[in-house]
Structure 1
Amino acid sequence: MGIITSGVVALFITVVLTAGIRRTTLRRRALDRPDGRKRHARPMSYLGGVATVLSVTGVGWAGSELGLAEPGAPVLPLLAVSGAVAAFGLVHDLKPLNAWLRLAAQVVAAAVFVSLAGLSPMVGVLAALWIVFLTNAFSTLDNSDGAMATVAVVTATGLLVCAALDGRSGVVLLLTVLVAALTGSLVHNWYPARIFPGECGSLFTGFVLAGSVVLLHAAAPPERAACVALPVLMVVAVADTALVLVSRRRAARPLLPDGGDHIAHRLRRIRFTAPGVAVVLGFGAVVGALTGTLVYAGLLHPLAGLVPSAGALLAVVALLRIPVYGGPPRRSARPAGRRRPAGKRTTGAVGAAVPAPASTSASSTAASSTAAASGPTVPPPPNGRPATELAADRR
């Protein structure tokens, strides 16, 4: 009952605090405006992740002090390091930082956490890499109304069940508070979003989930098949990051800077709505969470974990076929050996008149007169929208 009460308190705090932050940012005009990097359609309140961070850390710390977590549970170290990551994300929200600097900060935070968790050097290195990978995966998943929060709620619920099966009350407390806080943030972040988490909220969420996976895996009995079950719970975030890395590698683009080439952007290009994107990602998260939980509980064979993984692989292959890097390819150039006729000039304005050369035949002149009489000719629009014009990612 104490853990359930903690979740209810976290839900209430997040809903109220997020509304207050939104009103404050609107009153002070502290709005995040769309540009080439941020693709929401209009200026919008941000810093919604601050409410989630304060709610989870405050209620989680209070619950641990009240004895709701088992003695020696590494909940407070995880909360402390996650809070430091969230603070760094808040700095980035206020003044964008270099991508490599952000990655270095996450590596340091992951190294500090695995050292506090008492893992061996070899396991600690693998755990730190896993934490950095998942933290960035959830951070970049925050690119459409309600997408990141929906996936995180489902994933955290699956981890919560796994922690309850092992009697890990500390992890259960932390994940219960996180699920409640993210649910409260969805009240404001669901379509049409009125505020979004920003790097502060998304980095914090990813770090807490990744750290919880490390803690569960380190203490899981051998019969749990944790090395198969727990990664399956993260199938959507992993698939999204894998899609981006493969797509950018094939297009010879930089890997780190965020762009409009994630699952949400590709679904929007094939006419999915913003709520539809969140539902599709949430459904994929449910499949992964349900399968991973049943495998962890021993109700399914570990090979069953290959089913959502194979489905995610097929989805990545299919999504790679959706163009996201600009419009359609340009028309082929004129055949070699043919030069532009002398005296012909072009203008950059659509529909501007182009004088014909002196050697134009009478039939060409007549055709031009007919076209001019019927009005200027406007070239047809491209078949695809550039990725930078996707305006419904954050509303």
Structure 2
Amino acid sequence: MLHGIATEIATATAALLLSAVLTALVRVPALRLGVLDRRRQRPLPLLGGLAVVLVTCLVTAAGEWIGFAPLVDGIGTLLVAGAAVAALGLVADVRRVKARFLVGGTAVAAACVVPYAETGVPGGLLAVGWIVFVAVGFRALDHADAVAGTVGVVTAFGVGVLAAAEVMDGLAALLSVLAAALTGFLMHNWHPARVGLGSCGSLFTGFVLAAAAVTMRTGHEPAAGAGVLFALTALAGMDVVLVLLSRRLAGRPLLRGGSDHLAHRLRRLGLTPQGATILLGVGASSGVLVAVLAHLGRIADSGVLWVAGGALVVVLALLRVRVYGPRSPQRMQSPQVRGQLRVRNG
């Protein structure tokens, strides 16, 4: 028992140190190759996510090689599918890729890891949609320094605890390695960030966490299982819902980037970048804690309704934070806009 714990600690420590070193090394190639996130106030070199993916895959494979954490129960398939999603995200980091290709590719990968024998086809299709939603949600969380990484670490710990409770040691080991790799990356991503996670790392993180959660909850009562899955990743879902509602109500394109995410709105309320990250980390921890307690039977399954209610209140409150400036005169005078106004005015 003690030997296993010591081995797990040593593995996680190795993943953390390797990730910290590799993240520092990929910064220079990202700058030279122009792999940058130009949406922020300063161009931020990406490829930090590539470091997280490589360390997670290599350390987990090493655990299989030494016999510490065999890749059983579909964990090998999950890791390969996650690597494929990461490769798709890396392409998106290097060059512009339409959102539908990212969503479609992630859906194909998700379809390869869902245990249809236990979920059934309808449940499996719902699981595929949920995995895609979470992966896209984590990509959306990568809008400010350290947010996606912090939420990823918290969620990985939560899902890992539940996997250990279900005696899925290999899955728990994978999640501990992912949490350690993200922690090493955060050493360079805390504000002011020196390197970013990018689509490669954010899609990989969201995909692995969601797929692992589905695998862990398979066999439980569907409604209760859905509640636990929601609570585990409530913060990522909140960000997606908040942005879509905000842009819809403002008449803006749904898929166009903008400073209207959770951290952006908290900054508008006066929080510092570090304060916004910590607050979002606490929010993610609250949802994960409720999910863990509900799964372990320490609280009623209906406890997740408090998470849903809290998420709804936060979304409605943050919708009132003004993030969009006035429309530009050029756009208001364009023929298309004038035509739309004439139609609306009858």
Structure 2 length-normalised TM: 0.88
Structure 2 residue aligned with 1:24: 29
Instruction: Indicate how the Cα distance of structure 1 residues 223 and 203 shifts in structure 2: closer, same or farther if over 3 A, else same.
Output: closer
- Determine whether 1:235 maps to 2:234: yes
Structure 2 residue aligned with 1:69: 69
User: For the residues of structure 1 that align with 2:325 and 2:124, how far apart are their CA atoms?
Assistant: 41
- Determine whether 1:8 maps to 2:7: no
Superposed CA offset, 1:224-264 (max 9, x none): 94332232111111111111122122223332333221111
User: For the residues of structure 2 that align with 1:203 and 1:223, how far apart are their CA atoms?
Assistant: 25
Superposed CA offset, 1:64-108 (max 9, x none): 333333673211111100100100111111111112222221222
SS in 1 for 2:215: helix
Percent of residue pairs identical: 43
**Runs of 5+ consecutive residues of structure 2 not aligned to the other structure:** 330-346
Give the drift of 1:24. 3.2
Contact 2:74-2:113 within 8 A present in 1 as well: no
User: For the residues of structure 2 that align with 1:196 and 1:140, how far apart are their CA atoms?
Assistant: 13
Superposed CA offset, 1:139-161 (max 9, x none): 01001110011111111111111
Superposed CA offset, 1:172-228 (max 9, x none): 0110001000001100000110000110010100100110111011144x5994332
Contact 2:155-2:284 within 8 A present in 1 as well: yes
Larger Rg belongs to = 1
Contact 1:31-1:43 within 8 A present in 2 as well: no
- Determine whether 1:124 maps to 2:124: yes
Structure 1 length-normalised TM: 0.77
Instruction: Indicate how the Cα distance of structure 1 residues 29 and 82 shifts in structure 2: closer, same or farther if over 3 A, else same.
Output: closer
**Runs of 5+ consecutive residues of structure 1 not aligned to the other structure:** 331-395
Contact 1:99-1:257 within 8 A present in 2 as well: no
User: For the residues of structure 1 that align with 2:185 and 2:116, how far apart are their CA atoms?
Assistant: 30
Instruction: Indicate how the Cα distance of structure 1 residues 238 and 196 shifts in structure 2: closer, same or farther if over 3 A, else same.
Output: same
SS in 2 for 1:120: helix
User: For the residues of structure 2 that align with 1:45 and 1:51, how far apart are their CA atoms?
Assistant: 13
- Determine whether 1:98 maps to 2:98: yes
User: For the residues of structure 2 that align with 1:109 and 1:223, how far apart are their CA atoms?
Assistant: 22
Instruction: Indicate how the Cα distance of structure 1 residues 105 and 185 shifts in structure 2: closer, same or farther if over 3 A, else same.
Output: same
Structure 2 residue aligned with 1:209: 209
Superposed CA offset, 1:14-48 (max 9, x none): 0010111113334x2635262xxx1x122222111
Contact 1:224-1:297 within 8 A present in 2 as well: no
SS in 2 for 1:114: coil
Contact 1:86-1:204 within 8 A present in 2 as well: yes
User: For the residues of structure 1 that align with 2:218 and 2:118, how far apart are their CA atoms?
Assistant: 10
User: For the residues of structure 2 that align with 1:107 and 1:63, how far apart are their CA atoms?
Assistant: 28
Q: Greater helix percent: which structure?
A: 2
User: For the residues of structure 2 that align with 1:71 and 1:109, how far apart are their CA atoms?
Assistant: 18
Structure 2 residue aligned with 1:58: 58
Contact 1:93-1:198 within 8 A present in 2 as well: yes
Structure 1 residue aligned with 2:281: 282
Structure 1 residue aligned with 2:180: 180
User: For the residues of structure 1 that align with 2:211 and 2:191, how far apart are their CA atoms?
Assistant: 29
Equivalent runs, 1:301-340 vs 2, <5 Å: 301-327=300-326
